[in-house]
Amino acid sequence: MTSDNELELEKIEKELKALINKAGLTLLDYFGKPLKVEYKDAHNTDPVTEVDRSVQDFLKKSIKEVFPDHSVIGEEDSDISDEPLSKFIWVIDPLDGTRNFSQGLPIFACSIGVLKEGKPVAGAIFIPASNTDGNILHAVHGKGAYINNSRIKISKKNKPKAGSLAGLPGSFNNKYWFSTKLDRIKGETRVLGSIAYELAMVASGVLQYSALLGSLAIWDVAAGSIIIQESGGSILVGNKGKSKTEWTKFESFYTEFNNQKINSKNLRQWRKPMIFGSDGIVDFISKNIKVQPYWKRQLRHLIGL
Ligand code: IPD
Ligand code: CA
Ligand code: CA
């Protein structure tokens, strides 16, 4: 007999697939057209456009129509509150890679993740693909991960391979370094400019891992996390110290908040680094990644390097 939980997840999956498809087609429609770019911060590092806002509005409205008692968090929200959220929380990044998108680089994504009691249980990512209406990756807890209708599985490698592609932030050398053992085999590193796109590439086996060592926001990773877990991959989350980052296996955002009730304020403010890939690779990376000594970082800063 199908449980209430399974029925709810089936309903979520159906809606998720329909919505990501519509959101993706809207993004393709806007892509390449002139757009007014505004910035959410004083240093002009965080761009936003009418596309981000209109796709988010569409998604929020549609989700609320079908699931009035679920909570919805979007990157572009303006309302932030201390009110506890519902058991199911939809987490939306309407356009991940806004800078790429607004400058004509076809590496961007729409990302919708669903958390149940803080744990990612379903997710979908739209990415553009040449000469098609794009690709959709999706996953539901316990049911595997798919790109369009084909199952995807991450290979069970124990170590990265030199020459194979991998995702690493451009700012990597400012804060971290790799042991010689890892440095030799870290692979051909790339910075794609869209975290959700990068996670889609890990899940589909194009990138052998993605070490996202900056401060990720929940909307960047909510969908990618369940897609990678369901494709057989693993995720580590880092707690940054001054001289060391402690890596633990990522399970749920509740654990991240010491199992306390989550509200939109603390969920929106969550910022952590994460490593995505096969079990063996994420373990190998976490053991071979070092934080640059504090004095070295200060010195670089002082001499303007
Ligand atoms: C950004 C992209 C980018 C990453 C930034 C994110 P946005 O998301 O994922 O790759 O480096 O940290 O904020 O703003 O385009 O949704
Ligand atoms: Ca965004
Ligand atoms: Ca983003």
Q: What is the pLDDT of residue 299?
A: 75
- % of the chain residues with pLDDT over 90: 77
| pLDDT, averaged across the chain | 93
Q: What is the pLDDT of residue 260?
A: 77
Instruction: For residue range 56-115, list pLDDT tens digits in order.
Output: 999 999 999 999 999 999 999 987 878 889 999 999 999 999 999 999 999 999 999 999
65 and 132 fall within a common domain: yes
Task: Please check the confidence at residue 234 and state whether its pLDDT lies above 80.
Answer: yes
8 and 148 fall within a common domain: yes
Q: What is the pLDDT of residue 294?
A: 74
248 and 185 fall within a common domain: yes
CB 27 within 8 A of CB 101: yes
Task: Please check the confidence at residue 242 and state whether its pLDDT lies above 90.
Answer: no
211: in domain = yes
Name the residue of 107, 195, 268 to mutate for ligand 1: max ligand atoms within 8 A of Cβ. Answer: 195
117: in domain = yes
What single DSSP character describes residue 293? P
Q: What CATH number corresponds to the domain at position 227?
A: 3.40.190.80
Where does the pLDDT of residue 304 fall: very low under 50, low under 70, confident under 90, or very high at 90 and above? Answer: low
CB 221 within 8 A of CB 267: no
Where does the pLDDT of residue 262 fall: very low under 50, low under 70, confident under 90, or very high at 90 and above? Answer: confident
303: in domain = no
132 and 235 fall within a common domain: no
Q: What is the pLDDT of residue 285?
A: 97
For residue 11, count other CB atoms closer than 10 A to its CB: 12
Q: What is the pLDDT of residue 110?
A: 98
116 and 174 fall within a common domain: no
188-190 vs 245-249, strand pairing mode:
unpaired
Positive or negative: CA dihedral 88, 58, 100, 304: negative
Instruction: For residue range 128-164, list pLDDT tens digits in order.
Output: 999 899 999 999 999 999 999 999 999 999 999 999 9
159: in domain = no
197: in domain = yes
304: in domain = no
Q: Which conformational region is residue 294 in: left (phi greater than 0), alpha (psi within -120 to 50 degrees), or beta?
A: alpha
CA-to-CA distance for 30 and 101, rounded, in angstroms?
A: 9
Q: What CATH number corresponds to the domain at position 65?
A: 3.30.540.10
222 and 187 fall within a common domain: yes
Q: Which of 152, 173, 206 is the last residue of a domain?
A: 152
233 and 105 fall within a common domain: no
148 and 169 fall within a common domain: no
- Nearest-CA residue for ligand 1 atom 16 is 96
Block residue for tokens 């990501």: 20
Provide mean pLDDT across the span 280-293: 93
The verdict on the CB of residue 198 being under 6 Å from ligand 1 is no
8 and 145 fall within a common domain: yes
135 and 192 fall within a common domain: no
Give me the domain span that covers residue 244. Answer: 165-298
pTM: 0.95
CA of 236 to the centre of ligand 2 (A): 23
The verdict on the CB of residue 194 being under 6 Å from ligand 1 is yes
Least confident of 81-95, 179-193, 263-277, 289-303: 289-303
CA of 97 to the centre of ligand 3 (A): 6
Ligand lying closest to the C-alpha of residue 101: 1
The verdict on the CB of residue 210 being under 6 Å from ligand 1 is no
Q: What is the pLDDT of residue 84?
A: 85
Total structural domains in the chain?
Answer: 2
Provide mean pLDDT across the span 246-251: 95
CB 234 within 8 A of CB 249: yes
Where does the pLDDT of residue 4 fall: very low under 50, low under 70, confident under 90, or very high at 90 and above? Answer: confident
